[in-house]
A and B are shown apart, each in its own frame.
Chain A
Amino acid sequence: MASETVTAEISHSEASPSVMVPRSPAYQAYLRALKRRAYAIQAWQVGLLVAFLIVWEIAPRAGWVNPMLTSYPSAVARTFMAMLEDGSLLMHTWVTFSETVIGFVGGMALGIACAVALWWSPFVHRVLDPFIVVVNAMPKIALVPIFYIWLGDVASIYAMAIAVSLFVTIIMLYTGFSAVDPDKIKLVRLFGASRWQVLSKIVLPSSVPTMISTLKVNVGLALVGVVVGEFQAAKAGLGYLITYGSQIFQMNLVMTAIVVLAAISSVLFICIQALEAIVLRRSGR
């Protein structure tokens, strides 16, 4: 607030001065309409979810679909509560969650390191560019059996989470690094900056918004990698629950695992959004 008042006093300043004027009735009506719209959107979102659950509950009971194939929300809820009580759900959730976070952090760290290396040496970038593009376009999921044979049941899951997110991370970050304002680089070079200082003072801080959008993409991808890895290899985790449940034709189990997966991805996404809000506010972007 203090800085805004000062801005108002500076002549020929473009920064918008925030002068407090009494709110006109038209403006109040505008604010109310804005608020109503926001409520309406939220109500529709909740309504759609509830409608979906109701249809899902009624359809098998009314005999429109085979309950063996779809299960229904009340049965899923019972399975969920039972598994929560015996602790098995928490255990499987924790396994998948920790694998995802480790894979995600690992993929991001490795991706940053590779993107920095490519930025550092344009020659290496020119050499490797076609390979990175092709590997990125390839379905990494095809590698699951190979990773299982090479790395075993634990390491193959992490490898899968990293493999799925790594190449898109490299490509996104490298593109971000290359888009840094050349005048800013010139600015620090005029002060005698080394290549390392150009990286740490300009390129990396300039690329923070790119890093955050990469994180957003990767959260989903790492989860895909982990679940697919668990399909093949695991003795625990939500991916394991899904395969196991489908093999013994326990749709309640499969649906419970899927609901928890949706919850995990929401939690991770909300964390990234909170991080984004903090970082971008602090850097004034």
Chain B
Amino acid sequence: MITPAMRTEPVVAIRDVVLHYFSPDRETLALSNISLEVSRGEFVAIVGSSGCGKSTLLSLISGLIKPSRGDIYLEGRKVSAPSPRAGYMFQKDTLLEWRTVLDNVLIGAELLGLDRRAARQRAEDLLRRYGLGEFMHSLPHQLSGGMRQRAALARTLCPDPDLLLLDEPFSALDYQTRLALSDEIAAILRNEQKTIILVTHDIGEAISMADRVIVMSRRPGRIKVEHHISYPSAGPQRPTPFEARKCAEFAGYFQTIWDELDIHEMQ
């Protein structure tokens, strides 16, 4: 049941979150005063140079680690442990090589104690839609890199989460597969009306896929600036990521964000 109140309330609300890391020789301030709201159906990308804490922010939202200060709310409830409402996708596909593709997709349902029959139905349906119908009973090593990442997407979507946390899910793939797959996955996710937070260091990926791009500063990570991305030149419909790369606005966004990331200062 989606009530009107739920429609307006943000899916994710991050309020003044601070995170310290401790190690025997130092204390590190990893994230400093992060506040962010993501509304239902929105696709938000977080970009930042490596080590800025953007992946840590995903771990915080997923409930795997707790902030030193501040609170995170997922659909109005304070996050204290991993929730099945949020799905997570890794840089590597992390498929379990001893399980068939279908059993890999079903691991979420198995651990969450969902109805086996319904979960299996949904898993088979997802795999067929992603072109993996023939490979359901194959082992992961028989699949190509792109197919494996699609199987990982099916695994994430099988328990039907509202929020998807994507931690550089394309960066382990070769360039061509990466472009093709980000197009495919963007289409899937927009159809499923999911709320998405994508973490990436690839500016092109962020601006071609997301509605909003958050630029993070280097450590201690904080939100430096945010951009609402739109492509009026492509017409009223949101262009696919591949088309977006050809739009007139793309280069402008790219240049602005490139400058904001201060990448030249690091060398």
CA distance A12 to B111 in the complex (A): 33
Cβ B107 vs Cβ A284 within 8 A: no
CA distance A268 to B111 in the complex (A): 38
Q: Which residue of A15, A197, A201 contacts B142 across the interface (Cβ within 8 Å)?
A: A15
Neighbouring B residues of A202 by C-beta, 8 Å: 96
CA distance A208 to B97 in the complex (A): 11
Interface residues of B in 166-192 (CB under 8 A from A): 176-177, 180
A86 at the binding interface (Cβ < 8 Å): no
A283 and chain B: residue at smallest CB distance: B98
Q: List 13 A-B contacts (CB under 8 A).
A: A6-B135, A12-B146, A183-B91, A183-B92, A186-B64, A187-B88, A190-B86, A192-B81, A192-B82, A201-B96, A202-B96, A206-B98, A284-B140
Contact with B along A245-285 (1 / 0, CB 8 A): 00000000000000000000000000000000000001111
Main secondary structure of the interface of A (DSSP, over half): helix
Say whether, besides A3-B142, A7-B142, A191-B108, A184 and B94 are in contact (CB < 8 Å). Answer: yes
Say whether, besides A183-B92, A187-B90, A284 and B64 are in contact (CB < 8 Å). Answer: no
A279 and chain B: residue at smallest CB distance: B98
CA distance A190 to B86 in the complex (A): 9
Contact with B along A157-198 (1 / 0, CB 8 A): 000000000000000000000000101101111111100010
Cβ B112 vs Cβ A191 within 8 A: yes
CA distance A81 to B240 in the complex (A): 82
Cβ A10 vs Cβ B96 within 8 A: no
Cβ B107 vs Cβ A191 within 8 A: yes
Q: Which residue of B92, B110, B138, B177 contacts A12 across the interface (Cβ within 8 Å)?
A: B177
Cβ A190 vs Cβ B64 within 8 A: yes
CA distance A149 to B252 in the complex (A): 85
Interface residues of A in 4-39 (CB under 8 A from B): 6-7, 10, 12-15
Neighbouring A residues of B143 by C-beta, 8 Å: 15
Neighbouring B residues of A208 by C-beta, 8 Å: 98
Neighbouring B residues of A14 by C-beta, 8 Å: 144-146
Cβ B144 vs Cβ A10 within 8 A: yes
Cβ A12 vs Cβ B180 within 8 A: yes
Q: Which residue of A188, A191, A283 contacts B97 across the interface (Cβ within 8 Å)?
A: A283
Neighbouring A residues of B108 by C-beta, 8 Å: 191
Chain B: interface residue total (CB-CB under 8 A): 36
CA distance A45 to B91 in the complex (A): 49
Nearest Cβ distance between residue A233 and chain B, in whole angstroms? Answer: 42
Nearest Cβ distance between residue A278 and chain B, in whole angstroms? Answer: 13
Cβ B97 vs Cβ A12 within 8 A: no
Cβ A15 vs Cβ B144 within 8 A: yes
Say whether, besides A3-B134, A183-B92, A186-B64, A192 and B144 are in contact (CB < 8 Å). Answer: no
Cβ A284 vs Cβ B141 within 8 A: yes
Neighbouring A residues of B140 by C-beta, 8 Å: 284
Cβ B98 vs Cβ A188 within 8 A: no
B131 at the binding interface (Cβ < 8 Å): yes
- 7 new A-B contacts, CB < 8 A, other than A205-B96, A283-B98, A284-B140, are A3-B135, A14-B144, A183-B91, A190-B82, A191-B108, A284-B97, A284-B142
Nearest Cβ distance between residue A216 and chain B, in whole angstroms? Answer: 20
Neighbouring A residues of B131 by C-beta, 8 Å: 10
Say whether, besides A187-B90, A208-B98, A192 and B111 are in contact (CB < 8 Å). Answer: yes
Q: Give the interface size bracket for A toward B.
A: 20 to 34
Cβ A181 vs Cβ B142 within 8 A: no
Closest 9 CB pairs of A and B: A284-B139, A14-B144, A283-B98, A191-B111, A13-B144, A284-B141, A6-B134, A183-B94, A190-B82
CA distance A190 to B144 in the complex (A): 25
Contact with A along B46-90 (1 / 0, CB 8 A): 000000000000000010100000000000000001101010101
CA distance A285 to B135 in the complex (A): 17
Contact with B along A116-127 (1 / 0, CB 8 A): 000000000000
Neighbouring B residues of A186 by C-beta, 8 Å: 64, 90
A5 and chain B: residue at smallest CB distance: B134
Nearest Cβ distance between residue B216 and chain A, in whole angstroms? Answer: 21
CA distance A191 to B85 in the complex (A): 10
CA distance A193 to B109 in the complex (A): 11
Say whether, besides A184-B94, A283-B97, A283-B98, A189 and B142 are in contact (CB < 8 Å). Answer: no
A13 and chain B: residue at smallest CB distance: B144
Candidate in B96, B135, B146, B159 with the most chain A CB atoms within 10 angstroms = B96
Neighbouring B residues of A15 by C-beta, 8 Å: 142-144, 147
Cβ B139 vs Cβ A188 within 8 A: no
Neighbouring A residues of B97 by C-beta, 8 Å: 283-285
Interface residues of A in 187-227 (CB under 8 A from B): 187-193, 197, 201-202, 205-206, 208
Q: Which residue of B62, B96, B135, B147 contacts A190 across the interface (Cβ within 8 Å)?
A: B62
CA distance A7 to B90 in the complex (A): 25
CA distance A3 to B138 in the complex (A): 8
Nearest Cβ distance between residue B248 and chain A, in whole angstroms? Answer: 29
B131 and chain A: residue at smallest CB distance: A10
Neighbouring A residues of B176 by C-beta, 8 Å: 12
